[in-house]
Chains A and B, each alone.
Chain A
Amino acid sequence: MNKDEYYDRNYGFEEIQIDPRFKICEKEMKITFGVWILFAIISLATAYGLGKGPVEEYKYVMGLPAWWFASIVITLVFTLIVIGVTKMVFKDMDLTDEGNTECE
């Protein structure tokens, strides 16, 4: 590729053939973001929901205030979800371009 082609700024994105690996990367980025947002929303809603009201009237589960106990359970559940997503959803791929014959 020569300099003029490289630095060309008047082209259409449709001219670029997207590497299928990057599509997988983008999908996994969205999944990661989604799992984390879900974790954040569920944790915040549960903690602030169960933690409402005067402290003296708190219910205790296994020695812990109920909201705090629930937060720990949620973290443990999401630890399993994160492990599951990593093992089952994330794809293995070659990171090098060695098999890629279309480079110039």
Chain B
Amino acid sequence: MGIEIGNSARLAIIITFAIYTVILLGIGIYTKKMMDKTAVDKYVDEFYTGGRGMGSLVIALMIAAGLCSAGTFLGGPGMGYSMGLAWVFAGFSQNFMNFCVLGQIGKKVGIVARRINAQSYLDLFVHRYNHNKIIGIVGVLSIIVFLGGYVVAQFVGGARLFETMTGLPYWVGLSIFALVVLLYAAFGGIKGVSTAIVFQGLVMTAAVFALFIGALRFIGPIEPAIRSIGEINPDLITPWSWSIKYQASIWVIFGLVMIALPHGAMGALTYKDTKSMHKAIILGVVFVVIWTFILIWLGHMVRAVYPDLAVPDHAIPLLAMTVLPPWLAGITLAGVAGAIQSTVGAMIIVISSTFVKDAYQTYINPKAKGAQLKKVTTISTVVICAAIFLLSLNPPTVLEWIIIFTVGGLASAFFWPLILGLYWMRANEHGASAGMVSGMLTYILAAGNYLPISMGMHPIVISLIVSAVIMIVVSLATPKSPKGIIQTWFGKRYPKQIGN
């Protein structure tokens, strides 16, 4: 069955969504004005990392909303609906993502980023690994291709839902989504994105609570509901529908490896001081536990109400239409939009900073400064948004392929070079580039079923093992990293400038 919505309900949904969009436009215009006042020579620093002055709520939501994405409202509950409690249980593995990201890399990245003035995630790798070309080029390409494809998929999902819930054409929804994000990301930079994220995070949380209360009242006593799901198929309410080995490997990818995703690590580059970082961990844990637990579990509970949905990803929107008055259902649509736009906004900043800092400034025009760099920043961010919009209008078939490999591919490429670079002095550029390339290739071969090497686990496990072994062996077989780099990343004394 699909979603059926009356005209008056549609109108209420459209009005609520319009109010949400207008508020976001206001945030975009406001942050653009703030950015216009920024001195030209500080523009890029403010644009990409907010002058490293971000407070705790912003950082907490940037990591949480950035990593949660459309999956939280659509894909996650959809899988809960179709695969059952084993999946909902897997969702618990991401509960402490803020703690994992900031606790494991937050402070060290914070100190080093200030020493080397890193403005992008890749800047860290480029410096630590002695401006190695393989790392620079593989890094730039994989971030642009994988994150770009991921952003397109998020837009497509959001615009399709908009079409279903409002009855307006697909391109209208897509244009609204893209325009809003363009305004606050391309002109407001990280400040626009982060201000929007705070608002979106609050809307998402309000939507989640409204849904939870509405659903519990509608479903009634829980035990009979769960028993009835178990009668459809016992696999839906037992963890044993997945082997322990497979479940554990999913925990590794969601819980642990997430820290290496560029849009998650943004928080570590932008927070103000350790006090706000600690608060960001606590706030983030609370938000993520509420979002993932309630939403994914509700996706599962929808099975008791509607046993045969045509599109499982519509579990949450359908639930909203059923148990909430239309204007509150409109808030749910706004919440979904918020989850998508916040992820997309953060990713566009990552893609743009990668392009401007690690491609343009490194390979094309190293001398670019001040006004010119500001112009390049604005133009490239607008072009990125436009390209994403055009691709989403008519999604290419290669997109599905890119999506499958995004999270696993990026994580297998960056995880060990990041962790070992931060905490192992002996890691060098030869080891890191070998580990990066071998990790990504192994992942593509295993996840694409070209080679049967996954051993009943998520393919990320084997690619992480391969990447770790190769990185360690190659590092040990080649000379140490240059002394100046190791001093910067580990020493108390470090070279502020390199003389002749």
Contact = CB atoms under 8 A, between A and B. Distances in A.
A binds B: yes
Contacts of A28: 103-104, 107
Interface in A59-104: 60, 62-65, 67-68, 71-72, 75, 78-79, 82-83, 86-87, 90-93, 95-97, 100, 102-104
B490 A86 contact: no
A20 B96 contact: no
Interface in A18-58: 18-22, 24-26, 28-29, 31-33, 35-36, 39-40, 43-44, 47-48, 51-52, 54-56, 58
B281 interface: yes
Contacts, number: 202
Given A44-B244, A55-B234, A90-B278, A96 B490 contact: no
Interface in B5-52: none
Given A8-B484, A60-B226, A95-B107, 16 more contacts: A1-B497, A9-B481, A21-B107, A22-B108, A32-B104, A40-B255, A48-B240, A51-B239, A56-B230, A58-B230, A68-B85, A68-B89, A87-B282, A90-B281, A92-B274, A95-B273
A76 B382 CA distance: 43
B239 A19 contact: no
B285 interface: yes
A19 B491 contact: yes
Contacts of A47: 89, 239
Contact of B99 (A44, A58, A82, A103): A82
Given A2-B498, A17-B493, A96-B114, A11 B237 contact: no
Contacts of B484: 1, 5-8
B92 A75 contact: yes
Contacts of A2: 498-500
A36 B498 contact: no
Contacts of A78: 95-96
A93 B105 CA distance: 15
Nearest to A31: B103
A63 B496 contact: no
Given A3-B499, A71-B89, A65 B226 contact: yes
Nearest to B481: A9
Contacts of B255: 36, 40
Interface of A: 1-3, 5-11, 13, 15-22, 24-26, 28-29, 31-33, 35-36, 39-40, 43-44, 47-48, 51-52, 54-56, 58, 60, 62-65, 67-68, 71-72, 75, 78-79, 82-83, 86-87, 90-93, 95-97, 100, 102-104
Nearest to A39: B96
B49 to A, nearest CB: 13
Contact of A82 (B96, B248, B273, B425): B96
Given A83-B285, A90-B278, A1 B293 contact: no
Contacts of B85: 65, 68
A64 B222 contact: yes
22 contacts: A9-B480, A13-B425, A17-B492, A18-B492, A28-B104, A29-B108, A35-B96, A36-B100, A36-B255, A39-B96, A40-B255, A43-B92, A56-B230, A60-B223, A62-B222, A64-B223, A68-B89, A82-B281, A87-B278, A87-B282, A92-B278, A103-B493
A92 B110 CA distance: 12
Contact of A71 (B92, B274, B483): B92
Interface centre among B237, B239, B273, B281 (most CB of A within 10 A): B239
Nearest to B289: A79
A80 B477 CA distance: 45
A7 B285 contact: no
A40 B491 contact: no
Contacts of B497: 1, 104
B293 A25 contact: no
A63 to B, nearest CB: 3
Contacts of B399: none
B498 A6 contact: yes
A60 B248 CA distance: 25
A7 B496 CA distance: 14
B170 interface: no
Contact of A11 (B108, B251, B274, B480): B480
B247 A92 contact: no
A9 to B, nearest CB: 4
B221 interface: yes
A43 B251 CA distance: 10
Given A11-B483, A25-B111, A36-B96, A64 B240 contact: no
